[in-house]
Amino acid sequence: MKKIKNIAIIGAGTAGLATAILLARQDIDVTLFEKVERLQPVGAGLLLQPAGLAVFEHLGILPDTLKLGAIVTGLEGRLANQRLLVNSHYHEVDPQHYGIGIHRATLCHLLSSKLQDYAASVTWKMAHDIHRLQEHQQGVTIFGQHLGLPFESNFDAVIIANGARSHLRPTSWVKVDKPYPWGAVWSIVPECQTLDPQILHQFYDHSQIMMGILPTGAIPQAPTQRLSSVFWSLPAQQLQLFLDNPDKHEFLLQQISPRWKPVADWLEQVMQKQDSLQWLSAQYRDVVMTKFGQGRIGVIGDAAHAMSPQLGQGANMALLDAWALGQAMQQFPDRQVDWTMFWQHYHQLRYSSTQFYQMLSRLLTPLYQSDSTWSGSFRDVSFYWMYQIPYLRKQMALTISGLKTSPLQHMNYAEIAQSQSQSPILSQN
Model pLDDT for residues 226-258, shown as the tens digit of each residue: 999 999 999 999 999 999 999 999 999 999 999
Instruction: Tell me if 377 is assigned to some domain.
Output: yes
Asked if residue 6 lies in contact with residue 30, where contact means CB atoms within 8 angstroms, the answer is yes
Instruction: Tell me if 71 is assigned to some domain.
Output: yes
Report whether pLDDT(266) > 90.
Answer: yes
Domain count, the chain: 1
98 is in which domain, residue-wise?
Answer: 6-179+284-428
Instruction: Lay out the sheet containing 199-205: strands in order across.
Output: 84-89, 74-79, 199-205, 209-219, 222-235, 182-190, 280-282
Here the CATH number for the domain that contains residue 162 is: 3.50.50.60
Q: Are strands 297-299 and 157-160 parallel, antiparallel or unpaired?
A: parallel
Instruction: Tell me if 247 is assigned to some domain.
Output: no
Instruction: Tell me if 322 is assigned to some domain.
Output: yes
CA distance 35 to 25: 24
CA distance 197 to 387: 22
Instruction: Tell me if 27 is assigned to some domain.
Output: yes
Q: Which residues pair with 227 in a beta bridge?
A: 190, 217
Confidence of residue 421 (pLDDT cuts 50, 70, 90): very low
Instruction: Tell me if 23 is assigned to some domain.
Output: yes
Q: What is the pLDDT of residues 102-146, one digit of tens each?
A: 999 999 999 999 999 999 999 999 999 999 999 998 899 999 999
CA distance 36 to 25: 25
| pTM for the full predicted model | 0.95
Instruction: Tell me if 149 is assigned to some domain.
Output: yes
Q: Are strands 209-219 and 199-205 parallel, antiparallel or unpaired?
A: antiparallel
Instruction: Tell me if 199 is assigned to some domain.
Output: no
